Amino acid sequence: MHCGKRMLYEKPQALTPPRTDVVMMTPWLAPIVWNGTYNIDILNAQFQLRGVRIGLAMFAIKKYVVFLQQFIETAEKFFMVGHKVNYYILTDRVEEVHQYNFKLGEGRQLFTLQSPTYKRWQDICFRRMEMIRNYTRDRFINEVDYLAVADIDMQFSDDVGVESLSELFGTIHPGFYNLSRQSFTYERRAESRAYIPPDEGDFYYAAGYFGGTTEEIYKLTNYCHNGIMADRKKNIEALWHEESHLNKYFIYYKPTKLLSPEYLWDNRMGIPGFLKRRRFVAVPKNHNEIRNKRSIKEKQRASKNAKH
């Protein structure tokens, strides 16, 4: 009895690696995903047989809501196409988000979730882990099998599919993929819970895109949140906020899959020869301008005042 449709594809070669210009496996036997190292048709068939549900969580806090439309529209073109997807928008501007009219594909839903607001952007970064932890515990774990967490000031520009999913996955930071561990911007103060000694560390991971099963994401975010709160009691803030705590977690709880810099890139860094695809890229922006940019509601209010 066949479990699924018959598939035809070239036989894998045991002695011929698909890529020789990049490392495809970590010392703890976790695959590193690069273009050309997998067959997406095989993977899609496997995940569809299991009926996997995928969540994508993003933070549209304060004026970063201006990135939302481009994020969702590009996700609809490139993110987990053909699979069941729940978009979770965590925002302090629920009413404003409701003004957007997104056209979603079959089996794809969008949910707007209330988030607190904070005066400092650093506090927004630190609190992300707490919010993801709480929503995972109270909601996500009952609605999706895998959860990815992404920065919203990004856009999808090529396929990000089920090849990226695993029990726990992290993305190699595009600024550190070829540097020594001594060059990583880990938290180096021993009094911080995010502290990593100079002789430890595998890769430097970006907080802009990570994920895993909801059970593993709960463990990760709970660990990071507890570390952040312990630091706060000592009046310490880790160098790169929640990303510092994420990197500490990944040293001792190794990700089961790593995503290459294809999955988080900044085009200002150029296009090195090994980078065959740029799947999720930073949106060019002026941070000061974005922080001062008016929201939809503010523009409408200004327009009404001008008419009067």
Indicate the SS3 state at residue 109: strand
Tell me if 72 sits within 8 A of 58, measured CB to CB: no
Give the residue from 268, 261, 263, 262 showing the smallest Cα distance to 283: 268
Question: 163 lies in a domain?
Answer: yes
**Does the annotation count 243 as an active-site position?**
yes
Question: 20 lies in a domain?
Answer: no
- Residue 305: the pLDDT is 45
- Residue 4: the pLDDT is 60
- Residue 302: the pLDDT is 46
Distance CA(82)–CA(40), nearest Å, equals 12
Residue 298: give the domain boundaries.
Answer: 32-307
User: Has 42 been labeled as part of a binding site?
Assistant: no
DSSP state at residue 278: -
Q: Which residues of 123-144 are buried (b: 16+ CB within 10 A; e: fewer)?
A: ebbbbbbbbbbebbeebbbebb
Q: Residue 106's domain is classified under what CATH number?
A: 3.90.550.10
User: Has 152 been labeled as part of a binding site?
Assistant: yes
User: Has 262 been labeled as part of a binding site?
Assistant: no
Question: 184 lies in a domain?
Answer: yes
Question: 141 lies in a domain?
Answer: yes
- Residue 285: the pLDDT is 72
- Residue 22: the pLDDT is 97
Distance CA(222)–CA(295), nearest Å, equals 32
Question: 152 lies in a domain?
Answer: yes
User: Has 74 been labeled as part of a binding site?
Assistant: no
Measured in whole angstroms, how far is the alpha carbon of residue 149 from the centre of its chain? 4
- In which residue ranges of the chain is pLDDT below 50? 1-2, 291-298, 301-303, 305-308
Question: 39 lies in a domain?
Answer: yes
- Residue 308: the pLDDT is 42
- Residue 289: the pLDDT is 55
- Residue 300: the pLDDT is 53
- Residue 154: the pLDDT is 97
- Residue 123: the pLDDT is 67
Question: 19 lies in a domain?
Answer: no
User: Has 243 been labeled as part of a binding site?
Assistant: yes
- Residue 299: the pLDDT is 52
Torsion angle defined by CA atoms of residues 189, 191, 197 and 200, in that order, rounded to the nearest 10 degrees = -120
- Quote the Cα angle for 114-146-35, to 5°: 120
Q: What tens digit of pLDDT does each residue of 102-153 get?
A: 999 999 999 999 987 777 667 667 689 999 999 999 999 999 999 999 999 9
User: Has 256 been labeled as part of a binding site?
Assistant: no
- pTM exceeds 0.95: no
Question: 3 lies in a domain?
Answer: no
User: Has 151 been labeled as part of a binding site?
Assistant: yes
Report the number of distinct structural domains present in the chain. 1
* 96, 187, 216, 243: the active-site residue: 243
